[in-house]
Structure formats: C-alpha cells, structure tokens
Amino acid sequence: MAAPGENMRVNADRLWDSLMEMAKIGPGVAGGNNRQTLTDADAEGRTLFKRWCEAAGMTLAVDKMGTMFATRPGTDPDALPVYIGSHLDTQPTGGKYDGVLGVLSGLEVIRSMNDLGIRTKHPVVVTNWTNEEGARFAPAMLASGVFAGAIDLDYAYSRKDPDGKTFGDELKRIGWVGEEEVGARKMHAYFEYHIEQGPILEAENRQIGVVTHCQGLWWLEFTLTGREAHTGSTPMNMRVNAGLAMARIVEMVQTVAMENQPGCVGGVGQMFFSPNSRNVLPGKVVFTVDIRSPDQAKLDGMRATIEARAAEICAALGVGCSVEAVGHFDPVTFDPDLVASVRKAAEDLGYRHMNIISGAGHDACWAAKVAPATMIMCPCVGGLSHNEAEDISKEWASGGADVLLRAVVETAGI
Ligand code: GLV
Ligand code: MN
Ligand code: MN
Ligand code: MN
C-alpha cells in the first residue's frame, strides 16, 4: 500500500447526508435534536447507526453499559484496535452535531477506507458511548467512566432521571444491554473528533483545533432544606427560604469563578423547587453547580471556596445544606504522539490549525486514563452549542474528518 496521498480524504457529501439523516431522529422544537440517552429516539438512532456500520462491513459488539463498538478488522490479528469514539445522545435542546459528528465521522473514515482500498494493520473500532451528555442521568460521560474503571457499574445502573427512572431499567427497556463486560477492551489509541462548542477557532479563522488538553470538572449537587410556608401571610422575618439561599449561592458561584480568572468557569444550569408553587416558599431546592478549569489546583480551590461560602449563606438564613459530588474528572493532558499525528495530518492537508484546550467534557477524557488518546476539533458558528441553533458548515465537518482519517491511518498502520 502506498503512503497516504493527496487523494486521501473523506466523502464530504456522504458525511453530511448521514448527519442530516441522523438529525431526523428525535427532532427538537427549534431545528435541533432531543435524542436524550436511553429514550425511544436514542434506540432508533442506535438502530440506524448499527445498520450503517454493518453495511460498511463492520461487526457490532455492545457492552453492559450499552456502548456500541463497531469493528473493521486489521491485517495483523494480534494488533490492538485504534478507536474512534463520541456519542449519539443529545441534550434536551441539543444541536445536530455535538457528539454525532464524531461518531458519524468515524463511520465515514471506515467508508472512505473501503472506497480507497486501504487495509490497516490494526483493527479500527467506531464507538458510540452511552450517556455522554449527562442531561438525563448524571454524571456525563457515564459509560466511558465505567469503561475506565472510574465509576462502578452498579452505581451507573442506579442513577435516576428527574422522573425517578433508573439508568439500568431504561437501558433494558430500550433493549440495548449488551453481553460484553465493560472495560474489557484494550486500546492501541483513541481518537475523538468534535465540534469546538466555543468561539475560538472561528474567531481565529482556523479549520482545525489540535486538542492538547481538556479542562477538569466538578458537578456539585446542592440540596437545601427550608420550610414550606405561605408566601403572602408569612412575615419576612419568619421565613426559612431555601429559594433565597439558592439565589445567593448562584450569585456567589459567579463571583468565585470571576475571582479565579483567567481559566475558570462556573454556573448553575439545573434547579428544582419543591413544591414549585407560586405561593409557597420552597421547602426543598435541589440544584447543580458546574465548575471547570484546566488547572487542578484552581478547580479544587474553587470547589472548597464554593462549599464553604454556601455553608455560611445557608447558616445565615437557617437553611439546611448538603452537597454531593455527582460528576468529576481531573484536567486531562492528551498523548503527545497522537497530538503530533493530528497536527501533521492537518499540515499535510494544508488546513489552518491551532492548539486548543477543550472547554467541554468528552469521552476522550476517560479514554485517556486507559489508552493514548487525543481529540480533533472543528469550528462551530458563533461558538454556540447545547443549543438547537448549533451550526457548522459541510466544509468544516469534512475538514476534521479528513484529519481524523489521516491520523487514524497513520496510527493504525498500512
Ligand atoms: C458534556 O457534554 C459536558 O461537557 O458537560
Ligand atoms: Mn459532546
Ligand atoms: Mn454536549
Ligand atoms: Mn460533552
């Protein structure tokens, strides 16, 4: 087999058509998608992906977390596979590309290798990880976390959605509990291609982000206990107002993040008031703080400060406060050799590129615990993601997939 030549690119139209086809499953309310994990729409998306993989000559295996592994054999029976992974699940008001681009670009890499007659020494496995988003069941990147040994399978199965349904029951209900033990596989290398989900590449006019690191994260679930009481007749000095405590903590999280600039973010995206009635002071409030930084000391420092200040805020209002960490991973440094292979692929293709740190979490963060791993990014319009208006161009999509194809072929060997 000759060395990868100029013509080694993916089929941009086919990749785009597949993205548009998948986006028809679990449509959102504003042009994006609601294909949350372990819903009927997720099952439908999985079935379509399985069909496409089998049509491309791959063999599908599924593990006990429902993660899908589609394998294209290599020429060396002893060689460990090169993995390409991401996720087909979406946020409740998700875009068409977050995660999906990475999985379908993996499929497109296989289809393109088939077209170009490329046989690799190492097998190549395209992976759809279950519950990357963590929107329905916290934490995010649940299946890759179990795969990496950081999260127990039983704990994962016991996670509940806001309606009280468990992950384990829902996985069974949609018929995607596999036979394979989770984490049984060894990886030669792991690649993940994703939209940036931030504004940097577009602003810098680059087609490719060479991802060197990913910032670490804590998700802190606060449960505040006040006293349900009439909002009209209860004097201001007799209220034990869990909602007020929450409001002060939300403001405080913003302050702590600002005190830790540059390089830290923090915010609250989810809150539940109970009983959630206009004229009842909430007796119970549950909300989740999401804090992130590429700097371990700053990340852990922010967590300690937020917990200490929250305790003071609640004490002053007589509100009970408990905190549970429902999601965590440390900042990640990706494998230097794989990072170099992505950079070289972008250079060989003549694509404008730059190093970038991922602001979002990805399954690559857990894969990096058990294998050499890295990521590739493409821009997205206005940096917008976790929004149905998330948008990319066909050229951006295929540019990153071209880089993925080259880096995978180089790593898998021909
Ligand atoms: C998951 O998608 C995250 O980065 O929060
Ligand atoms: Mn994603
Ligand atoms: Mn996401
Ligand atoms: Mn993510």
Is the pLDDT assigned to residue 131 strictly greater than 60? yes
362, 363, 366, best to mutate for ligand 1 pocket (most atoms within 8 Å of CB): 362
What ligand is nearest to the CA atom of residue 195?
A: 2
pLDDT for 201-241, tens place per residue?
Answer: 999 999 999 999 999 999 999 999 999 999 999 999 999 99
Residue 232 alpha carbon to ligand 1 centre in Å: 40
Contact between residue 154 and residue 64 where contact means Cβ atoms under 8 Å apart: no
Query: Residue 7 — very low, low, confident or very high, per pLDDT cuts 50/70/90?
Result: confident
Q: What is the DSSP string of 32-86?
A: SB---TTSHHHHHHHHHHHHHHHHTT-EEEEBTT--EEEEE--S-TTSPPEEEEE
pLDDT at 2 over 60: no
Q: Which atom of ligand 1 is nearest to the CA of 98?
A: 2
Angstrom distance (rounded) from CA 141 to CA 137: 10
Task: Determine the residue type at 292.
Answer: R
User: Rounded to the nearest whole angstrom, what is the distance from the C-alpha of residue 239 to the centroid of ligand 1?
Assistant: 37
Q: What is the pLDDT of residue 3?
A: 53
Q: Ligand 1: which residues within 6 Å by Cβ?
A: 132-134, 140, 360-361
Residue 124: pLDDT above 80?
Answer: yes
- As a whole-number percent, the residues of the chain with pLDDT over 90 amount to 98
Amino acid type, 412: A
Cβ atoms of 290 and 267 closer than 8 Å? yes
In this predicted model, what pLDDT tens digit does every residue of 170-196 receive, in sequence order? 999 999 999 999 999 999 999 999 999
- Average pLDDT (314-318) is 98
Q: What is the mean pLDDT of residues 62-74?
A: 98
| Average pLDDT of span 324-350 | 97
